[in-house]
Each structure stands twice: as structure tokens, then as C-alpha cells.
Amino acid sequence: DGGITQSPKYLFRKEGQNVTLSCEQNLNHDAMYWYRQDPGQGLRLIYYSQIVNDFQKGDIAEGYSVSREKKESFPLTVTSAQKNPTAFYLCASSTNRQGSNQPQHFGDGTRLSIL
Amino acid sequence: EDQVTQSPEALRLQEGESSSLNCSYTVSGLRGLFWYRQDPGKGPEFLFTLYSAGEEKEKERLKATLTKKESFLHITAPKPEDSATYLCAVQAGETSGSRLTFGEGTQLTVNP
């Protein structure tokens, strides 16, 4: 079945450690996105990529990094510079390019906690 | 800056008790308004896209409508399995690409 796979489902980070969250899609979508969701808050955009080898900062990019070397994959690294990383992280993809308005489809998230 | 506000924050209904959720938006050049359903510990599930004022979409017990300032998600005769958080998001402007701005959601609980 086509879809978006995020792994791991749960992740724990130690102080000073970088961790990488995986996101893979087999929907042949051009665009991919990373969001952070905190309790009682909506989704906030971290980074997005509309094409391979290109990505843009969202609203809360500080302390995070991404790469887009393949169309299917958009990993997110939470660096030690992110002082409050505990949250639910969601990856999404869509067929969008500039000017289009198709819906985004989401994976089932990774919950990151601090040890 | 695009803004999306959802109300109420939480809503409790009895099974069969119809109601509506509100999504108010302030954007420059709306290109699409999206409704999602999110179950606990899961990613949002796409429900509807609305593109222009006056448009309506239906799916089972849900009906979404759109005006120039807000969208409503009407729930008719809800069942306990409709319990979830409902998220509204907008896509706007010509330079923002495909990014969405989300509201904070309405947590719906339907009691049997």
C-alpha cells in the first residue's frame, strides 16, 4: 500500500545528543514537510522541500536540520541546539509545487522525549 | 501573516446530538482550506478541501462549508467513533508555495 512511514515511533534523546527521525514515502510526491506538534497547540512547520536537493526553513527551524537527497526520503535531525525537543513530530507529503493546492498526507508520527 | 483560529477548543456531545465546529481565517489570497481528523497518537487524516466561498463537501456524517472569513464542519447525528481532534488548515498567497498554516484544533468527544 502507498503511504508515509515514520520511524521510530518513540525516540529518547540524551543531553548533547543529535537524533535523526526517518520519513519515507512511496506516493511519488514531490513535496515533503516536517511539523512539530505540542499539547494543546496546532502543527508548526519546521522545514519543507518541494523538490529533491532543495529545502526551505519553516516557522521554527532553529535547532533542526534536514536533507533531501532522494525523492522518497526526508530525514529530520534534532540537534543539541534544540533546547526543548520533547514533542510529537509529523512528516507529510503532497504533489504540490508552487501555485498548486493539493492536500498533504501524513505519517503516524515520532514521539521524541528527553532522558 | 496568515492566521487560523478554531473554536471551541473542546466539545462534548451526546450520541445523535448534531453540532458545528468553526474555523476562522485571516489570509491574503486563499488557495485552499483543508479539514483533517486526528486520532490520539496518530497523524492527521485528510477529510476535505474547499477552494472558494459557497463551496460545500460531504462525507458520511460530516459536511464542510466555506465563506470568505470562516469554515464550518457540521456533524450530523454523531457517533462515538467520531470522537477525535479536528484540524483546519489554510494554503494562501502566491509566494508561500505549498505550505499550510494550521489552527490549534477542536477536540470532539461523543458520548454513547
Is the separation of the CB atoms in A28 and A71 below 8 Å? yes
C-alpha cell at A104: 498533504
Instruction: Please tell me the predicted confidence (pLDDT) of residue A102.
Output: 81
Confidence of residue B93 (pLDDT cuts 50, 70, 90): confident
C-alpha cell at A17: 545528543
Tens digits of per-residue pLDDT, A23-46?
A: 999 999 999 999 999 987 889 999
Interface contact A107-B43, CB threshold 8 A: yes
- The HSE-up count of residue B15 (CA atoms within 13 Å, CB side) is 5
Instruction: Please tell me the predicted confidence (pLDDT) of residue A113.
Output: 93
**For residue B73, is pLDDT > 80?**
yes
Three-class HEC string of A93-115: EECCCCCCCCCCEECCCEEEEEC
Interface contact B100-A97, CB threshold 8 A: no
**For residue A99, is pLDDT > 60?**
no
C-alpha cell at B47: 477529510
Q: Return mean pLDDT, chain A.
A: 91
Instruction: Please tell me the predicted confidence (pLDDT) of residue B1.
Output: 80
Torsions phi, psi for B50 (to 5 deg): -120, 135
Instruction: Please tell me the predicted confidence (pLDDT) of residue A97.
Output: 59
**For residue B19, is pLDDT > 60?**
yes
Place of cell 481532534: B85
- Asked if the peptide bond before residue A8 counts as cis, ω within 30 degrees of 0, the response is yes
Element containing residue B33 per DSSP (H, E): strand B30-38
Q: Which of B31, B98, B101, B106 to mutate to test the interface with A (most CBs of A within 10 A)?
A: B98
Is the separation of the CB atoms in A3 and A25 below 8 Å? yes
Identify the bridge partners of residue A23 per DSSP, sorted by sequence position: A6
Residues of A in contact with B42 (CB under 8 A): 108-109
Tell me if residue B81 falls in helix, strand or coil: helix
**Which amino acid, A88?**
F
Interface contact A101-B45, CB threshold 8 A: no
**For residue A87, is pLDDT > 90?**
yes
Instruction: Please tell me the predicted confidence (pLDDT) of residue B2.
Output: 86
Confidence of residue B79 (pLDDT cuts 50, 70, 90): very high
Average pLDDT over residues B76-90: 97
**Which one has a higher pLDDT value, B1 or A67?**
A67
Instruction: Please tell me the predicted confidence (pLDDT) of residue B95.
Output: 57
